[in-house]
């Protein structure tokens, strides 16, 4: 279950992060695709304004590395997602470094709804042969709708199901495709609310 204060600040931060990679006035994001460095440098000050910090600890097991991307709130609560990658060749330091770089970029992008492409300045392409993936931006009104959905979850499952059924198909598709863990947390929270005891 995601904490209400954490959820509110994540939604607020996402409303600013949606412009990354598209805002030509931002010197860090003049291109359609983001390197790990520009992605991290761009998101950190925005997250900080909303009481959030981005952490990405790494663990390794032979030829596999796991990057856990966590949004830590100043209340001590957190929201995280883990990505495990395995080297296709020898587990050299360079190969493992490539996996870590790739995992950090895609882990952060996935958690924040920003999909970045392997960049020529980064050796992430050694970790995967995946083709260029464009930046994914939410449909118009998505963030306001998500904020409303979080609020509705406070009134229980029945209300959440009704709000979901009445929602835009585009909004529902974007949430389930790019924010599945957050949607599961919203549903889990609604399931804990007893009728007549909504907060």
Each residue's pLDDT tens digit, 167-195: 999 989 988 887 777 788 788 888 887 76
Please return the burial class of 42, using the count of CB atoms within 10 Å of its CB with bins 0-12, 13-18 and 19+. Answer: buried
Distance CA 96, CA 88 (A): 10
Instruction: Report residue 115's pLDDT band, with 50, 70 and 90 as the boundaries.
Output: low
Which residues fall within 8 angstroms of residue 82, CB to CB, at 6 or more apart? 66, 67, 68, 69, 107
- The residue written with tokens 């958690």 in the block is 111
Q: State the chain's mean pLDDT as an integer.
A: 77
For the question of whether the overall pTM of this predicted structure is more than 0.85, the answer is no
Give the start-to-end residue ranges of the domains of the chain. 4-126, 142-192
Query: 72-110, pLDDT tens digit by residue?
Result: 999 999 999 999 988 877 888 888 888 898 889 888 988
Check whether 67 has a pLDDT greater than 90.
yes
């Amino acid at each position: 279950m995601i904490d209400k204060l954490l959820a509110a600040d994540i939604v607020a931060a996402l409303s600013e992060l949606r412009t990354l990679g598209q805002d030509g006035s931002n010197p860090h994001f003049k291109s359609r695709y983001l390197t790990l460095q520009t992605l991290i440098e761009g998101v950190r000050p925005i997250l900080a304004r909303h009481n959030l910090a981005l952490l990405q600890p790494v663990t390794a097991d032979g030829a596999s590395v796991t990057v856990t991307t966590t949004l830590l709130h100043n209340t001590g609560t957190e929201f995280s997602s883990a990505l495990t990658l395995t080297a296709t060749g020898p587990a050299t330091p360079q190969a493992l470094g490539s996996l870590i770089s790739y995992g950090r970029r895609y882990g952060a992008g996935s958690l924040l709804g920003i999909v970045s492409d392997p960049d020529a300045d980064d050796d992430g392409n050694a970790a995967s042969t995946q083709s260029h993936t464009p930046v994914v931006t939410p449909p118009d009104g998505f963030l306001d709708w998500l904020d409303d959905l979080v609020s509705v979850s406070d009134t229980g499952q029945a209300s959440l199901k009704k709000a979901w059924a009445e929602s835009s198909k585009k909004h529902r598709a974007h949430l389930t495709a790019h924010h599945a863990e957050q949607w599961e947390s919203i549903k889990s929270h609604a399931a804990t609310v007893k009728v007549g005891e909504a907060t």
